[in-house]
Amino acid sequence: IYPCTVAKKPFLPLAAHIPLNTDYSPTFEITYAFEVVGVLLGAWAGVNTDGLLIGFIIFICAQLTLLNDSLEHLREHSMDVTDANEDASRGVLDEKMKATLIDCINQHGQISEFKKEVSSIFGTITLSQFMVSVLTLCTNLFELTTVSELNVQLFALLFYMMFLLTEIYCMCYFGNEIILKSFQLTNSAYHSDWPNCSLDFKKNLIVFMTRSHIDMKYLAGNLFPLSLETFVKIIKSSVSYFTVLNQLGDSSEYETRNNL
**Residue 140 reports pLDDT greater than 50:** yes
Q: How confident is the model at residue 249, as a pLDDT?
A: 60
DSSP 227: S
Domain boundaries, given as residue ranges, for the chain: 26-247
Q: Which residues, in sequence order, are CB contacts of 100 under 8 Å at separation 6+?
A: 70, 74, 77, 78
Give me the pLDDT at residue 259, please: 56
CA dist 211 and 59 (Å) reads: 21
Each residue of 166-185: pLDDT tens digit? 888 888 899 899 989 988 88
Determine the 3-state secondary structure of 44 from DSSP.
Answer: helix
pLDDT at position 123: 84
Beta-carbon-side half-sphere exposure of residue 158 (alpha carbons within 13 Å): 7
Please tell me the distance from the alpha carbon of residue 39 to that of residue 5, in angstroms, as a whole number.
18
- What does the alpha-carbon distance between residue 109 and residue 237 come to, in Å, rounded to a whole number? 36
In tens, the pLDDT along 79-98 reads: 754 444 444 466 677 788 88
Question: CA 139 to CA 136: how far, in whole Å?
Answer: 5
| H or E element that contains 232 | helix 228-259
Cα→Cα distances 132→118, 140, 211, Å? 21, 12, 36
pLDDT in tens, 180-235: 998 888 888 888 877 877 888 888 888 888 888 777 888 887 788 888 888 888 88
Question: What are the tens digits of pLDDT across the range 9-45?
Answer: 778 888 778 887 777 788 888 888 888 899 889 888 8
